Amino acid sequence: MSTTWKNWSKSVTARPRSVVRPWTLPALEHTVEAAIDDGRRIKAIGSGHSFTDIAVADDVQLDLSKYSGIVALDLARQQVTLRSGTKLWQIPELLADTGLALQNLGDITQQSIAGAIATSTHGTGLAFGGLASQVVGVELLTGTGETLTVSTSRNPELLDALRVTLGAFGIITSITLQLVCEYDLHTVVNRQSLSSIIQNWHGHNTRNDHFEFFWFGHDDHVLAKTSQRIPVQNQSDAARTPLTSRLLDEVITNGGLSVVCHLGRMQRSWVPWLNRVATRAWGSADRRAHWSHAFNSSRRVRFNEMEYALPFDDIPEIITELRTLFRRGQLSSTFPLEVRAAAPDTAWLASNHGRRTGYIAVHQHFAQDHREYFGRIEPIFKAAGGRPHWGKLHTLDAADLADVYPHWSGSLALRDQLDPHGIFSNPYLSRVLGT
Ligand SMILES: Cc1cc2nc3c(=O)[nH]c(=O)nc-3n(C[C@H](O)[C@H](O)[C@H](O)COP(=O)(O)OP(=O)(O)OC[C@H]3O[C@@H](n4cnc5c(N)ncnc54)[C@H](O)[C@@H]3O)c2cc1C
């Protein structure tokens, strides 16, 4: 019996012919071997938190939600090997009492470790890469029935090729992460003028461990969020995070935003005014939290998103161009843009490959057509040499991507070698890889 699968934003649907949920490595290996023998296509899914159709499985859907937990923990090297279906929110619990932590995280922790890394998921911090930068080892089952064990010590170049995979090179069974000593984050959130933020874009990112800002495009102010890494304090997180800060988070990302989106959908001409009201509702916050709670926030208002990785130094110019379009009424959205940064990475298909990166993300409520809004912005990102987030909406194809990824042909050749019959492919991969 076929079941219907939907991604988080409900923009993508799949009807796999069969769904397999292995609990053990032998069961997982058997499922992949059977698919190869029977000439079927097989696709692993994580938590379905990609906005693109990258995780669509129309034949065998490999649901790894039960394949989670620690395979090995090396306290001396500060490394952990996790089963590929482990969710990011499970990791702090798995590392409890080790004094170890992930180096950096994005906005949410619902994703699986393999799914998040496959799409080059990132947070912010100019001295830090994304999740893929923390990977020191990967084990994967290839389309030819082999098990490939890749690590920084054995085969570093191959690891660079296989840290960000888009799900195209094989089924990842485990991932080894380099951890760091646990830390707290001291975070300050406040309203600042957009002009001063873009004038000091470089300084904000070099002076702070983590910097990002949220901007409703019709307003001249932004919500700036700066965080410093500090030693862990032995207090409960509730004591470290004042209630006002938690309420502020709730209002910004959920309750208040939901009302703004509703009103903006009712009457589009109200959007500039709603942007200004929403920006003024932003208060300030000063909080301290353990790393395990500091990065993520809950996102209950559903949306669709496009995000591009851009040359770090070009962010002020691109934001200025977008501001002009908002002022002329050529762009409109009830959601704020989110702007972040990351250090360069050597992973071949990482969106921050080889350059200091600034990220600009744009969102639209899931019940609203995003195509006009995203369609006006995407050419600006593309012209700036941007690389789309693999898990977020974009229209680029293989020819476009070959221009912005220096290892593109090497990636395609490796994929032909590891998956010669395209058993891990789907329509999204056919578009972006061109085969
Ligand atoms: C509310 C929300 C907030 C987000 N915030 C951020 C953010 O802050 N930063 C950011 O960069 N992104 C963010 N994202 C995007 C998200 O991190 C990525 O799309 C991520 O890939 C989703 O992980 P997942 O586990 O749901 O993977 P899925 O979407 O289920 O799958 C993604 C890809 O991984 C592959 N895959 C999964 N498991 C395996 C495996 N074991 N072996 C091989 N391939 C595998 C799938 O086949 C697919 O190709 C956000 C998304 C949402 C919905």
Instruction: Quote the ligand 1 centre to 279 CA distance (angstroms).
Output: 29
Cβ–ligand 1 contact at 166 (below 6 Å): yes
Tell how far the Cα of 45 is from the centroid of ligand 1, in angstroms.
9
Q: Is 358 in the pocket of ligand 1 (CB under 6 A)?
A: no
Domain 184-388 carries which CATH code? 3.40.462.10
pLDDT digit of tens for each residue in the chain (435 aa)? 568 999 999 999 999 999 999 999 999 999 999 999 999 999 999 999 999 999 999 999 999 999 999 999 999 999 999 999 999 999 999 999 999 999 999 999 999 999 999 999 999 999 999 999 999 999 999 999 999 999 999 999 999 999 999 999 999 999 999 999 999 999 999 999 999 999 999 999 999 999 999 999 999 999 999 999 999 987 555 445 554 555 556 655 666 777 667 666 777 776 776 677 677 777 778 999 999 999 988 777 889 999 999 999 999 999 999 999 999 999 998 889 999 999 999 999 999 999 999 999 999 988 889 999 999 999 999 999 999 999 999 999 999 999 999 999 999 999 999 999 999 999 999 999 998
Distance 116 CA to ligand 1 centre (A): 4
Alpha-carbon 12 to chain mean position? 17
The CATH code for residues 68-181 is 3.30.465.10
Whole-angstrom distance, CA of residue 154 vs CA of residue 261: 51
Quote the strand ranges of 60-146, DSSP E: 60-63, 70-74, 79-83, 100-101, 135-141
Instruction: Compute the Cα dihedral for 232, 249, 202, 400 and give only its sign.
Output: positive
User: Which stretches does DSSP call E strand in 50-205?
Assistant: 60-63, 70-74, 79-83, 100-101, 135-141, 147-151, 171-178, 180-181, 184-193
Strands of the sheet containing 18-20, edge to edge, are 18-20, 60-63, 42-45
CA 387 to chain centre: 13
For 5-62, the fitting CATH number among 3.30.43.10, 3.40.190.10, 3.40.50.1100, 3.90.1010.10 is: 3.30.43.10
Q: Residue 315 belongs to what H/E stretch?
A: helix 315-327
Query: Beta strands 147-151 and 135-141: pairing type?
Result: antiparallel
Ligand 1 neighbour 141 (Cβ under 6 A): no
Token pair recorded at residue 26: 């032998």
Please report, as a single letter, which amino acid is at residue 25.
L
Q: Are residues 178 and 79 in contact, defined by beta-carbon separation less than 8 angstroms?
A: yes
Beta strands 180-181 and 100-101: pairing type? antiparallel
- Does the Cβ of 252 fall within 6 Å of ligand 1? no
- CB of residue 105 inside a 6 A radius of ligand 1: no
Atom of ligand 1 lying closest to residue 170 CA: 43
The domain spans of the chain are: 5-62, 68-181, 184-388
Helices within 267-304 (DSSP H only): 271-281, 291-294
d(CA 213, CA 226): 9
Cα 319 to averaged position of ligand 1 atoms, centre (Å) = 26
Sign of CA pseudo-dihedral 112, 364, 295, 358 = positive
- Is residue 167 lining ligand 1, measured as CB closer than 6 Å? yes
